[in-house]
A and B are shown apart, each in its own frame.
Chain A
Amino acid sequence: MSGDERGGLTVARLSRSFGGLQVLRDVSFRLNPGQVVGLIGPNGAGKSTLINCVTGALTPDGGDIWLNGAWATGRSPDALCRSGLSRTFQHARLLEELTVLDNVLVGAHVRGRVGLVSAALRLPSHRREEIRLHECAMHALDLVGCGHLADTPAHALTTGQQRLVSVARVLASDPRFVLLDEPAAGLDDTETGALADALRQVAAGDVGLLIIEHHLELIMELCDEVLVLAGGGVVASGPPAVVRSHPAVVDAYLGTPA
């Protein structure tokens, strides 16, 4: 795997340990624009640690990350977000005092340029930017099917709606690559369908998606490629149909026949 390929997210031989526990071991993968890659594995396999390392929340002990051809290992999460790499968290973590639209506007932060003085004096440049950011936020909300909830206080949402809004928040930043940590957890069938539709549309817009998920059907339906992580290393990868029959997946998700 070469790091100089432009227009993609490349992770090469990433390792990370906590004390004596090796959580990631030489993990490599590539995410192209418009590609949907699923990351599955049992609890404790290192999936969230991988996302944390790739998005800068944790510093890897070894390995390299390239984002659009630029070496991105050790860059801060905010710098990576400004370069187009965003993430969601396992919990929605909405600001409960704010409305849904305001929560999504928090995600649109990187798309604004106007400074503090313009904002304080509400100058025309600030007004124009606010209108633009609101349109972006509304578009992201519409994309996940939550446009009708824009004025709802975040504390009044169901768990599933909170999840969808957290996805809208990350989409509002106009990312090139999104790493989603269990986006369908707590969603009912209708909401999972809305989420799948939204993610397909996002990917169709040339955005690369890496999805950690235990909802195997969603992964198999959405993804172009699936990585199976176990014990900190990639034990299988390939198209969903191939990975589905891999012994590690059968063992972890479908159960070993007695």
Chain B
Amino acid sequence: MTRIDGPAAERRGRSDARPAWPSWRAPVALGLVAAVAPMALGTWVIPLLVPVAISSVSAVGLSLLVGRAGLVSLGQGALAGVGAFTAASVSVRLDAPPELALCAAVVTGGAVACALTPFLRLSGLYLSLATLVLALMFQRIAVVAEPITGGADGIAMEGNLRLGFIDVASETAFYAVAWAAVIVAGVLVANIQRSRKGRSFEALSAGEDLARSVGVRVTTAKSTAFVISGLCSGLSGGLYAYYNQFLTPEQFGVGQSILLLAAVIVGGPRSPWGGVVGLMVLQLLPETVDLGSEPEALFTPLLLLLFAGFLPQGLVAAAGTGLGRLWRIRPLTRPAQAAVTAGPSERTADER
């Protein structure tokens, strides 16, 4: 009997078929860097790093969509805006506790993403178009929806973020909460990437026909990836509302969406932490190095072009390869490659 029956099946050859769980090194390293940075560099970095952390929550979700499912969203900034105005209006108009407002922000971010999923029945191009239209229309919609958003004048939050009995009043406390949110979101997304669902997203990037041939419900998989990115953006927006304490529609323009996409490309789309690294580069470099106004405006698009053209795997993957070369953390070519069968088919995929 040679049917593939799983654990009970007769097996030959390699016996260590244990799953490779997501590594804890990246979240631990990120947590350490976030904890040490204010102590090592001074508290002046906190106002710089809190916006990076808040945007990073959104970038973590976007990396799953771009890097795994191969779909491009140009509307993550607008989805963050949906989350932000939801948190603000639930908090101010309904006098709801911050925990509930944050939950509402997450849910509405996911719900708006869900509302766009009919565009996913068509090719990925239509999601990009739909999200671009959302990004372009969001500010106008936010102005028109004055009873909820406060219109062009914006809406001011009342009260600080509070999680249970902890009042997140100081900027330092908010810094800790924002980076904790990044790490939790990143760990959850990394776990999804290493799961059956994550592999169904991977299959999409090889072509919808291939994904269907292995049993993946293509529209469901694409929708799931997009809704996860919407949930993350909703949380990001909710945190932004409590951090900034005042929201106007201008804060959620199409530029924010492009910044997030650029960060994911620059940092590395295949890693949930790539967007975090990308945001550090794109948001911190112009703040710490005086580039002048014109070069600063061109900084993000130029870096996006450079990485898309010459380093598409992004900084995280490049750093991983570099570290591997330096310290041989893991061999670049596994011993198994030595077992390449001799013969006319010995050429590798790269050589062809």
Contact = CB atoms under 8 A, between A and B. Distances in A.
B66 to A, nearest CB: 14
A202 B9 CA distance: 13
Given A142-B13, A201-B2, A77 B341 contact: no
Interface in A38-71: 55-57
Contacts of A162: 349
B273 to A, nearest CB: 16
A165 to B, nearest CB: 11
Interface stretch (B128-136, B202-210, B284-292): B202-210
Contacts of B14: 138, 141-142, 147-148, 150
Contact of B347 (A56, A122, A130, A159): A159
Given A89-B210, A158-B341, A126 B349 contact: no
A195 to B, nearest CB: 12
Interface string B248-270: 00000000000000000000001
A132 B224 CA distance: 24
A26 interface: no
B3 A126 contact: no
B61 to A, nearest CB: 12
Interface string B1-39: 111111101011110011101000000000000000000
Contact of A138 (B11, B199, B200): B11
Interface in A114-143: 114-116, 119-122, 126-127, 129-143
A204 B2 contact: yes
A77 B13 contact: no
A140 B13 CA distance: 11
A127 B22 CA distance: 12
B198 A119 contact: yes
Given A142-B12, A191-B345, A109 B336 contact: no
Interface of B: 1-7, 9, 11-14, 17-19, 21, 188-189, 191-192, 194-200, 202-203, 205-207, 209-218, 224, 228, 270, 333-334, 336-337, 339-341, 343-350, 352
Interface of A: 55-57, 76-78, 81-82, 86-87, 89, 93-98, 101-102, 105-112, 114-116, 119-122, 126-127, 129-143, 147-162, 169-174, 186-191, 201-202, 204-207
12 contacts: A78-B216, A106-B202, A107-B214, A109-B214, A110-B214, A142-B13, A147-B12, A155-B350, A158-B348, A171-B4, A189-B343, A191-B345
